[in-house]
Amino acid sequence: MGNKVLVALNDSMSSRAVLDYIGNLSLCPDDLQIILLHVFRKPSGGEELMGKKYMNQQPAKYTAVLEEAKNHLINKGFFPENIEIVLVMEPYPTIADGIIDQARILNPSMVVIGRKRMSKAEEFVMGDVSIKLVRALEGTAVLVVKM
């Protein structure tokens, strides 16, 4: 197998934009392994207040999101046997930490993420996952698809 691409996804519009972008690229699908990844972060206080039922539903929800993403790429001509789904259940302090850790474990040639437009204030408060990935993943290409 040639190139390995790690695609970090959630159920956002920016993740759908990533799938559309990858699906429309002129790639050689038989030489490309795609890993569809979702990592969980430690729940916020608000999420914990939503209760155990809500928290217990999250793995099934994101498994369905990743399966839908896989089917989308298959419909675009990618080979099903070259698409792997990775759902990391152990929560990370931040999404960026989870993606960085998984990239170091899976050793892809490229990491692809989506990014929505944020104000400077939002970026300051929430951080910018794409910048963290670019800084931390030396030797790995990072493709950021902006909405």
What's the structural domain count of the chain?
1
Residue 57 pLDDT: 81
pLDDT band at 59 (very low <50, low <70, confident <90, very high): confident
Residue 1 pLDDT: 47
Q: Residue 93: which residues within 8 A CB-CB, separation 6 or more?
A: 41, 42
Residue 3 maps to a domain? no
Tokens representing 52 are: 């155990």
Pair 54, 79: CB distance under 8 Å: no
Domain span at 139: 9-31+40-146
Pair 5, 110: CB distance under 8 Å: yes
Residue 50 pLDDT: 63
Residue 125 pLDDT: 45
Could you report the per-residue pLDDT of 86-110, keeping only the tens digit for each?
A: 999 998 998 999 999 999 999 999 9
CA 82 to chain CA centroid, Å, is: 17
CATH of the domain at 76: 3.40.50.620
Residue 4 maps to a domain? no
What mean pLDDT is reported for the chain?
84
Pair 32, 62: CB distance under 8 Å: no
CA–CA distance, 16 with 71 (Å, rounded to integer): 13
Residue 1 maps to a domain? no
pLDDT band at 124 (very low <50, low <70, confident <90, very high): very low
Residue 134 exposed, middle or buried by CB count within 10 Å (0-12, 13-18, 19+): middle
Predicted TM-score of the model (pTM): 0.84
